[in-house]
Amino acid sequence: FGGQLIEIDEVDSTNLHAQRMLKKQKVVEGTVINAKHQTHGRGQMGTKWYSGEGLNLTFSVILFPKFLTLEKQFYLSKVIAIGMVEAIEKLSIFNVKIKWPNDIYVGKDKVAGILIENSVRGQEIEHSVIGVGVNINEQDFGIYGLGATSLSMEAGELIETGHLLQSLLKSMQKWYLMLRAEKYFEIDDAYHHRLLNYNQWAYYEKDDQVIKAKLVGVKNYGNVVLENEIGDLSEYGLKELKFII
Ligand code: BTN
């Protein structure tokens, strides 16, 4: 990843920039678009992603995971998230977890988010834009502060963003190659290991109802499997369930 690294001072969204590039030119797999500032940063489920100028990382990686069938598409999110946790742990920050479906947490606070946008043709993923936003040197989240943290707040020192970008790209690439090599067992093992609340009782919210359940698995296409107190299993989609932390 990052063989082609495009650095931009300001853009609407690196994901949108990547999609425009894919429309109009030939793009090498692993191309990275990194922006200092996004005017229309996008988050999951139509939300906005705000990021203080020059303080954090907002970038997108372009991939062509043609080998991955649609029903296994969530593996992309898994390998990216595992790679991110590994890179963050290298900063001697601990208690870094993946919060299903697409967030990275340190303790009870969110430190990074992933927005994957796939273009699908038939049963194949033609291209995938992996958008990553990491709070790095932000110290004050203002009104968005509740439940948010940054790596420097956790590490107690400023972090060099360029160096961290390289480290993130390296470990994300390592796990992407594992996926290409079809090492599903190793990936699932690493994922469960880092998954927040895995096999633990916790509370979730669905349609304004609170459910006490144990997260026992994540399906290949992204749904989560919860076990309730009498041992029944139920599957929930990406938009159906809220985690209560
Ligand atoms: C989320 O947690 O809601 C996902 C946030 C993803 C933000 C990143 S920043 C780089 C890339 N470009 C975007 O517009 N969004 C993603």
* Domain match, 220 and 159 both: no
pLDDT in tens, 66-101: 999 999 999 999 999 999 999 999 999 999 999 999
pLDDT of 143 higher than 80? no
In angstroms, the Cα distances linking 126 to 60, 65, 117, 154, 173 are 16, 7, 11, 38, 18
Average model confidence (pLDDT) across the chain? 94
C-alpha count within 13 angstroms, C-beta hemisphere, residue 14: 31
Contacts 24+ apart (CB under 8 A), 203-208: 203/244, 204/236, 204/241, 204/242, 204/243, 204/244, 205/241, 205/242, 205/243, 205/244, 206/236, 206/240, 206/241, 206/242
pLDDT mean over 219-243: 92
- 79 lies in the same domain as 156: yes
Q: What is the CATH number of the domain that holds 220?
A: 2.30.30
Looking at the fold, whether 112 and 207 belong to one and the same domain comes out as: no
Same domain, 61 and 172: yes
Same-domain status, 127 and 221? no
| pLDDT value, residue 61 | 98
- The whole domain housing 233 covers 201-244
Residues 106 and 36 in one domain: yes
Residue 42: closest CA among 102, 131, 145: 131
pLDDT at 242: 83
Do 31 and 65 belong together in one domain? yes
15 CA: nearest ligand 1 atom: 12
77 lines ligand 1 (CB under 6 A): no
pLDDT digits (tens, 9 = 90+) for 8-52: 999 999 999 999 999 999 999 999 999 999 999 999 988 999 888
What is the rounded CA–CA span in Å between residue 204 and residue 118?
A: 28
The DSSP element (H or E) to which 101 belongs, if any, is none
- Whole-structure pTM value: 0.96
Task: Write down which residue in 158, 177, 194 finishes a domain.
Answer: 194
Q: For residues 20 and 93, state if they share a domain.
A: yes
**The predicted structure's pLDDT at residue 4:** 97
Is residue 75 in contact with ligand 1, taking CB distance under 6 Å?
no
User: Does pLDDT of 120 surpass 80?
Assistant: yes
What pLDDT does 24 receive?
Answer: 96
CATH number at residue 89: 3.30.930.10
Give the chain's domain count.
Answer: 2
Q: Are residues 10 and 119 in the same domain?
A: yes
Q: Tell me the per-residue pLDDT of 105-117, one tens digit each, with 9 for 90 and over.
A: 999 999 999 999 9
117 touches ligand 1 (CB under 6 Å): no
Instruction: Please give the average per-residue pLDDT across 148-156, as a whole number.
Output: 95
Q: Are residues 66 and 118 in the same domain?
A: yes
Q: Is residue 94 domain-shared with residue 214, that is, in the same domain?
A: no
Phi-psi region of 92 (alpha: psi -120 to 50; beta: other; left: phi over 0): left
Do the bridges between strand 32-38 and strand 109-121 make them parallel or antiparallel, or are there none, so unpaired?
unpaired
CA dist., res. 117 & res. 41, Å (int): 14
Predicted pLDDT at 243:
80
pLDDT confidence band for 145 (50 / 70 / 90): low
141 and 233: one domain?
no
Ligand 1 neighbour 115 (Cβ under 6 A): yes
